[in-house]
Structure 1
Amino acid sequence: MDATRSSPLVAGADDPNRRFLQPDIETMPREQLRALQERRVLELVPAAYENSPFYRELWSAAGVNPARVRSLDDFFELVPTFTKDDVRAYRDRTGDPFGGLLQVPTSRLTSIMTTSGTTGMPELVPEIWETAPPLPACSGRDLWELGVRPGDRVLVPPGAMRGFYDTFYQQMGLVPIYLDGWMGQGAEIIAALRRFRPSYLQLLMPTVLEFERLEDAYDLREAFSSLKGAAFAGQPLGAALAAKVRDEWGIELFTYSSAGDTGTAWECREHNGYHLWEDFVVAETLETDSLRAVPAGTVGELVATDLDNNAAPLIRYRSGDLVRIDQERCGCGRTHARQWIIGRLGDETIVQGRPVVVGQVWKAIETQNETHDGMFQIIRESRVVDQLRLRVGYQPAGGVDLDDLRQRLRSAVTAEVGIEPEIELVPVDDLVARSSSVAKFPRVVKA
């Protein structure tokens, strides 16, 4: 396990005024980053071929000889990509719960977590670590950038999905306050904010929606006044709700996303893209239907390779995320690449021969006061359909004329997309409750 991830406070903690937690790494020249990546890839490939039955089978079928991989360029040219479905197929065929990815005896594992399960059944995530679990520890730099410092209190929801954050917060010198952040707990969270005055809060969509319902009963700006910032994960907030959190509640929100299931990628104070930690991951953007890299700065599918996972690394994993990546130095001074999430591969729906994307529908849904939260789902059995069917969550407070709202939404969506939709209206709480994942809200569903 790489020391920079297992011990996130190896540098910087002695000076709380320092901008970067690990300045030598976060501002490393790009040629040094590439050399570091190449060194780790050349260690990774032979180990995976020898110890992982999934990679040995996949690469042998592609005629890959690990000894021929002598550079990053060789790696990109020779090693095949794979998808989550490939791992599931191997698991179903062999009964291996780790899908053939595990390359160490289970006795060496420190913990086994799971993915969120947003796109299917949760996948097992075996881990080896010494002082803190890999996923939370890789966000140490991001929390430092947010402004969190040793001695600060942090309010966070406990969870089983990639959970066990205790040791990480201890390594950061923080005081965690665990509180249920799911639906119906808004008043309790506000009480905890007022009592403990934390510097940091982890938000999920249900929490934000709960706070919105409590606006008339509490002074939310006062309740949030101790925060240096708050994190938000999962599906991004729509423009209207994000503006409310920022401007009315006074919270500086730092959103973060997945780095192709190898870790996380967070916004910095510039709020201009999500930083990929390239000492932990090699990030490529490829055409969705080929192995060809897309031109720099254009949209492609994120293909990720774990560089510090000694248990079950993902190697040229096709994430299904459509992203744009920029390797120019960020305004914050960091040299690691940033990504912008455009959408998910397969989320585009073809209706009567016309492509419809989630963002178009979202923009229309936000225009109505009752649905400005932007909570909706596209319902489809296949990618190509004859009818655009939407399930839209509305705020029922104050009484809502559903027929009138349905007609206004139908007009807004038709104007934006060019297709008249069929709309099912449900209270927003009921819609959120249908999500199978605590981390993400699925925008495209079958029923």
Structure 2
Amino acid sequence: MFTIFDDRLDAFARRTLADHRRFDAAGWPREELEAHQLTALRETLRHVTGNSPFYGELLGHLDESAIAGLTFDSFAELPFTTKDDLRERLLDMLSKPVHEGWVFYETTGTTGRSTPCPRDHVDSLVNNTALSVCYDHVFRAHGDRHVIGVMGPNELHSTGDTFGDVCRNLGHAHAKMWPHSPVVGFRRALEVIREVSVTGVFCTPNVAMSLAKEAVRAGLEPAGLGIRFFMFTGELATPGLLRNIGEMWGATAYNCLYASQEASVLGATHGDGRLRTLPLNVYYELIDPGTGRPAAPRDGFRQGELVVTHLYQGSKPLVRYRTGDLVRLYPAAPAAGYPSDVLLPLGRVRDLIDLNGRRVTAYELESLILSRLAGAMDYQLVIDRADGTDTLTVEVETRDGAPLPPAAVDDLAGAAHEAWGCPVEIGYRQLGGITTTGALVSWKAARVHDRRRAPDEERKVALAMAGGRRGR
């Protein structure tokens, strides 16, 4: 309701909502969308070159004539922005001083220097409107009168504010409860779920798995707690993982958001359960991570490192920002309810794993394994090398230590050998806190113990964090 105190923001909020609702209804012709994107790219370039010390140096050669004559082709020749730029230039990246924003966030800093991520009202209105319009379809699919649990860190982090605002926009109550906080904890989170009849939860996949394990320890049946749906973010979420968690809780699990603190919202799930791009807010490019040139199209999709540019002019717009993430983009079907590309995150470029000479993405690895691990409550992968061959051990935590069906184990062994030439073993044990660290470190650091080489810095951070969580 803050917008009623500012006529300009009120008009901007209403115009933004109208634009997104019209897009949701397939009311933007392609020509109009491309014109919108090109105009917004020019405005973003004017905004950053005139206000950001970093971009004033990087793009200061662009005068008004060059910006006014910008085309998509000439834009693709501009230099990239990298994560190192963000870490080195910090507040120089901003296009508005911190005091002109409404909230200050920063990256977690678990694997490098924290970088500032303030938001002004334009940032929040644009991003939260897109999420609200998309999530409205998901929420309606699971009834009404929702109470939503928001389980994510709130200190210097956007999770609670963003999802709380979205729930408020859609007319649903929410409770912010971060189970890893000593103020809350997993036992109290379960109590709140029962006391106020929580129907949906925003969290990471590992929070949902940890919460289920805590429920079982407390003598509760997760599927009997009344949660209808989970909205996952912060970690890789393959169909097999979504299925396992959904079955565990008797709920529908969605990979609801592709985003980061520094780049904000880049994709949101729609009513069909698939992540979609948000082309009113973001201009997307895919590049070959080795050459930096546009990724070559493949049969039915495009794949490469995602590069994004913000089409709104807030506190910290980024221009041609290399996310470091591998993604696939599939064109929307002609009859799709939401007319934007389907977005499939594959994991970070630097999380590619070599298995017997084959380069494997995080998504490919987890998809093949978890599609055959029905009933797993948690998992970890151990990679080793024996007699010149890379081997894979899948460590699984199941309910009461029950073994997986022999047919599933055989199927997994055959599929892994065919795909990567890896012999596979299955091990059963209770997994420690390291698998809960993925959202703060990386999927690979949390999920993969690669014995072929010494732990890298991210793995060391994950192990340290796991030690700190073990006693909670």
1:201–1:231 CA contact under 8 A, matched in 2:
yes
Report SS of the residue matched to 2:158.
Answer: coil
Deviation at 1:301, TM superposition (A): 1.6
> What is aligned with 1:78?
77
1:390–1:424 CA contact under 8 A, matched in 2:
no
Report SS of the residue matched to 1:192.
Answer: helix
1:364–1:409 CA contact under 8 A, matched in 2:
no
Q: 2:176 aligns with which of 171, 175, 178?
A: 178
Q: Deviations over 1:176-212 (max 9, x none)?
A: 2222334994544343333322342113233322344
> What is aligned with 2:149?
155
> What is aligned with 1:46?
46
Q: How does 1:83-232 map to 2 (within 5 A)?
A: 83-88=82-87, 90-91=88-89, 97-98=90-91, 100-117=92-109, 120-129=112-121, 135-147=127-139, 152-157=146-151, 159-160=154-155, 161-165=157-161, 166-182=164-180, 185-213=185-213, 214-215=215-216, 217-224=219-226, 227=228, 229-232=229-232
Cα separation, partners in 2 of 1:231 and 1:164, compared to 1, 3 Å: closer
In 1, Cα distance between equivalents of 2:323 and 2:428:
32
Deviation at 1:314, TM superposition (A): 0.8
Indicate the larger mover: 69-78 or 432-441: 432-441
Amino acid at match of 1:79: L
Cα separation, partners in 2 of 1:423 and 1:48, compared to 1, 3 Å: farther
Report SS of the residue matched to 1:114.
Answer: coil
Q: Deviations over 1:16-57 (max 9, x none)?
A: xxxxx9531322222221111111111111221122121222
Task: Calculate the TM-score normalised by the size of structure 2.
Answer: 0.73
> What is aligned with 1:14?
none
Report SS of the residue matched to 1:339.
Answer: strand
* Structure 1, unpaired ranges of 5+: 12-20, 92-96, 381-385, 402-406
In 2, Cα distance between equivalents of 1:252 and 1:2:
36
Amino acid at match of 2:347: G
Indicate the larger mover: 389-398 or 166-175: 389-398
1:268 and 2:270 correspond: yes
Amino acid at match of 2:151: P
In 2, Cα distance between equivalents of 1:410 and 1:25:
42
1:2–1:308 CA contact under 8 A, matched in 2:
no
Q: Which has the higher helix share?
A: 2
2:244–2:375 CA contact under 8 A, matched in 1:
no
In 2, Cα distance between equivalents of 1:35 and 1:46:
17
Q: How does 1:2-401 map to 2 (within 5 A)?
A: 6=13, 10=17, 22-26=20-24, 27=26, 28-60=28-60, 64-65=62-63, 67-69=65-67, 70-88=69-87, 90-91=88-89, 97-98=90-91, 100-117=92-109, 120-129=112-121, 135-147=127-139, 152-157=146-151, 159-160=154-155, 161-165=157-161, 166-182=164-180, 185-213=185-213, 214-215=215-216, 217-224=219-226, 227=228, 229-247=229-247, 249-259=249-259, 261-271=263-273, 273-288=274-289, 289-295=291-297, 297-329=301-333, 332-350=336-354, 353-359=357-363, 361-362=365-366, 365-366=369-370, 367=372, 373-376=378-381, 394-395=396-397, 398=400
Cα separation, partners in 2 of 1:80 and 1:417, compared to 1, 3 Å: same
2:127–2:281 CA contact under 8 A, matched in 1:
no
> What is aligned with 1:16?
none
In 1, Cα distance between equivalents of 2:38 and 2:426:
51
Deviation at 1:340, TM superposition (A): 1.5
Report SS of the residue matched to 1:299.
Answer: strand
In 1, Cα distance between equivalents of 2:374 and 2:205:
18
1:281–1:304 CA contact under 8 A, matched in 2:
yes
Indicate the larger mover: 344-353 or 301-310: 344-353
Deviation at 1:258, TM superposition (A): 2.4
Cα separation, partners in 2 of 1:237 and 1:300, compared to 1, 3 Å: closer
Identity of aligned residues (%): 19
1:324–1:341 CA contact under 8 A, matched in 2:
yes
Q: Number of residue pairs matched?
A: 416
In 2, Cα distance between equivalents of 1:337 and 1:48:
27
Report SS of the residue matched to 1:55.
Answer: helix
Amino acid at match of 2:286: T
Task: Calculate the TM-score normalised by the size of structure 1.
Answer: 0.76
Q: Deviations over 1:39-96 (max 9, x none)?
A: 1111111221122121222235xx65453132442543432222212332x33xxxxx
Cα separation, partners in 2 of 1:374 and 1:396, compared to 1, 3 Å: closer
Deviation at 1:379, TM superposition (A): 9.6
In 1, Cα distance between equivalents of 2:173 and 2:326:
37
In 1, Cα distance between equivalents of 2:288 and 2:122:
38
Amino acid at match of 1:373: D
Amino acid at match of 1:29: P
Cα separation, partners in 2 of 1:68 and 1:440, compared to 1, 3 Å: same
Deviation at 1:387, TM superposition (A): 8.3
